Amino acid sequence: MRLRELITAAKPAVSLLLGLLFFLAASAPVRAAENEQQLLGTQIQDLKQQVLELNKDLFILEEELLYPSNTQLAVFLSLDIGYFFALDAVKLTLDGELVTHYLYTDRQLDALVRGGVQRLYIANIKKGEHEIVAVFTGRGPQGRDYRRAGSVTFEKTSEAKYLELKIMDSKANKQPEFVIKQW
């Protein structure tokens, strides 16, 4: 009888032990699935990063193929402060031919005022002398319509040519200044 009493007394402990083993066995695949999901998520993030890097490299390669440095002209626009001039549009002419016209939103102007630089135009041009004319329209001092032009004649050599259209405030004149800078 003593054996029966021991078996009867041990039944709750055995049941508890069997339940615990069953729970552990059942939760193991769940934890394994969670670990697999975390590993898969990490692999996906790594793959996304690699795709972004590859896309950047392809963009740079495309730029180099489409615009080789020996024929490249790039024109950039920057804005300094902007108290005396609120830019609305820029029209760019190269050798008497309109090459680009750009209208600005408030958000784009805000980015320029905060130090942003916009690549306004990029092209392949022949070696030799060229003239570029930029016409700026917007609101000048006292909110009046304002239209100014700046031009520069430059020599294109076998190196890439970079020009910056810079709009600056002249505190002495209380007027905007439009400068075309060659790099």
**In Å, how far from its chain's centre is CA 144?**
34
**In Å, how far from its chain's centre is CA 109?**
16
Percent of the chain as helix, strand, coil, to the nearest 5: 40, 40, 20
Top-confidence residue, 66 or 153:
153
How many of the other CB atoms lie within 10 Å of CB of 132? 22
pLDDT band at 11 (very low <50, low <70, confident <90, very high): low
For 13-37, give the DSSP string. Answer: HHHHHHHHHHHHHHHHHHHHHHHHH
As separate numbers, helices (DSSP H) first and strands (DSSP E) second, the chain gives 2, 8
Tokens of residue 70, six digits: 């020996």
pLDDT digits (tens, 9 = 90+) for 28-60: 666 667 778 888 888 888 888 988 898 888 888
pLDDT digits (tens, 9 = 90+) for 67-100: 777 788 999 999 887 678 889 999 999 999 999 9
Residue-level pLDDT at 17? 56
What predicted TM-score, i.e. pTM, was given to this entire model?
0.64
Phi, psi of 114 (to 5 degrees): -80, 5
How many of the other CB atoms lie within 10 Å of CB of 157? 10
